[in-house]
């Protein structure tokens, strides 16, 4: 089984296999973009980036991270990437609840059995911590410190803009 991803409770097969799982992720992305609240936060993300974000979020929830076969999956990098995106988009636990609801609806739309949907919902809860205030706030504070150190003390107007952009999740635009 070396090199193969091992999922908790064989969830991908129970969803219907890799193709049904991929279709559920596509449906999840569509639902996320139709949700006015989430669409606003995903507005700077293209469809490929959104799909990668949703796929990696589900992988963190569904992968059996203790399984030896998953050693090739860099869980730490995925977590850090997810935390960065969550902080940049300004997500909170309320957004997590919206995403979780859309995952459940996507699985229902895929004709998954109720027990599989309940199992998936329980596994998705395992990534709620990424959206919790302390985790998101710590990452935002780190980004503020990085912005302060990257911008020299001379240009305080640009520095203030960079800090504001970092804390609000907006991109900084250079002024000429």
Contact partners, residue 4, CB within 8 Å, separation at least 6: 69
CA distance 159 to 173: 12
How many C-beta atoms lie closer than 10 Å to residue 170's C-beta? 13
Least Cα distance to 53 among 79, 71, 92, 16 occurs for 79
The CATH code of the domain at 8-131 is: 1.10.490.10
> Please, what sign has the CA dihedral across residues 100, 106, 109, 110?
negative
pLDDT tens per residue, range 114-140: 999 999 999 999 999 999 976 666 666
**Pick from 53, 74, 52: nearest CA to 63:** 74
List the domain boundaries for the chain: 8-131, 137-168
Q: Taking the model in full, what pTM does it have?
A: 0.74
- pLDDT band at residue 76 using 50, 70 and 90 as cut-offs: confident
Give the range among 48-52, 57-61, 66-70 with minimum mean pLDDT.
66-70
């Amino acid at each position: 089984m070396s090199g193969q991803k091992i999922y908790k409770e064989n969830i991908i097969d129970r969803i219907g296999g890799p193709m049904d799982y991929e279709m559920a992720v596509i449906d999840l992305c569509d639902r996320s973009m139709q949700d006015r609240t989430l669409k606003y936060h995903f507005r700077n993300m293209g469809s490929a980036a959104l799909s990668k974000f949703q796929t990696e979020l589900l992988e963190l929830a569904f992968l059996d991270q203790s399984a030896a076969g998953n050693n090739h999956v860099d869980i730490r990098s995925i977590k850090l990437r997810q935390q960065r995106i969550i902080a940049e988009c300004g997500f909170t636990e309320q957004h997590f609840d919206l995403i979780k609801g859309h995952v459940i609806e996507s699985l229902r739309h895929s004709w998954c059995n109720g027990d599989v949907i309940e199992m998936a919902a329980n596994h998705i809860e395992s990534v709620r911590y990424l959206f919790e205030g302390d985790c998101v706030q710590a990452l935002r504070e780190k980004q503020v410190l990085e912005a302060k150190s990257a911008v020299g003390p001379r240009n305080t107007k640009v520095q203030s803009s960079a800090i504001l952009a970092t804390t609000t999740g907006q991109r900084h635009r250079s002024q000429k």
